Amino acid sequence: MTIAMCYVSPEGVVLGADSTASHSTADGLFHYFNHNQKLFQIGECSTLGLLTWGLGGFSDVSYRTLIAMLDDDLKKKKPQTVLKVAERWAALVWAEYTKAFGTEMARAVNLGAKIAHNPTNPAPGPHTRTKDEEDEFSRLMGLFVGFCIAGYVASDRKPFAYQINCMPTATTVPVPTALKGNNAFWGAPNLALRLLNGYDSDLRQGILDSPHWTGTEADLDAVLVTNSLQIPSLPIRDAVDFAHSCIHSTIKALKFSSLNQICGGPIELAVITTDRAFRWVRHKRWDEAILEGDLP
């Protein structure tokens, strides 16, 4: 799992992520590695960066390799917009995604077309998922992977950020979508959203589903918005601090909770300002894992 975030301001873009990667063992448990890379520069001396969350990679090709292939393509034909870069990445990664998981995707589409399993119905019809099918569908949905491409292109120095989602139930190349607002969180966003808004989407939906709530969604949102911190447009260095604070708070909250530590390891941060190329603010050294646990 991941805590990743992007902040877009008139000055540029800030990208950040933790470093924990989880691997499922044969007995269904998870093993965690704390030095994975989820934030990448697209090429050297580039004005573009990429974040990833969800699925950690494909069977025989890494995201690192695919990003290098994207850079090769961008050098051959310079993009006119960040959206065009995101579209090229979507096409490239979709080809590898469908090649790696074509069989699983077909099954996910088949199961997704059925009605969700109802535990109170012991004899579901042919168009409703059984308990076993519901469990299988849930596992297949774990093949989701998301990306954020952000920065600017030389012909237009305005910063942009686009999200690309590869879903196992999709049948066409994913369409990049522009970020809404000046910040976004992915992977395990709940803790950051609780900190910033006073609630997360699960709590909001729980209230709406409760028989004790008799108002409308608009009524609830009018109450909830009063607790929001209303993050303004930040100076770029304060945006770096904001990104680090949110990721750090998520990691620490999970550490001191009874939940699985699905986020952790070194925090990586990068900034792309409209007058400079991609720059690392914090980046793991190659001996980071070797030094883990060493005394100073």
The whole-angstrom separation of Cα 236 and Cα 274 is 11
Q: Specify the pTM.
A: 0.92
Q: Residue 85 has what pLDDT?
A: 98
**What is the CATH code for 3-291?**
3.60.20.10
Sequence spans of domains, the chain: 3-291
DSSP 152: E
Per-residue pLDDT 10s for the chain (296 aa) are 799 999 999 999 999 999 999 877 777 777 889 999 999 999 999 999 999 999 998 888 999 999 999 999 999 999 999 999 999 999 999 999 999 999 999 999 999 999 999 888 767 788 899 999 999 999 999 999 999 999 999 999 999 999 999 999 999 999 999 999 899 999 999 999 999 999 999 999 999 999 999 999 999 999 999 988 888 899 999 999 999 999 999 999 999 999 888 899 999 999 999 999 999 999 999 999 999 878 77
Rounded distance between C-alpha atoms, residue 161 and residue 176, angstroms: 9
Contact 86, 149 (CB under 8 A): yes
Secondary structure of residue 228 in the 3-state scheme? coil
For the chain, give the number of residues. Answer: 296
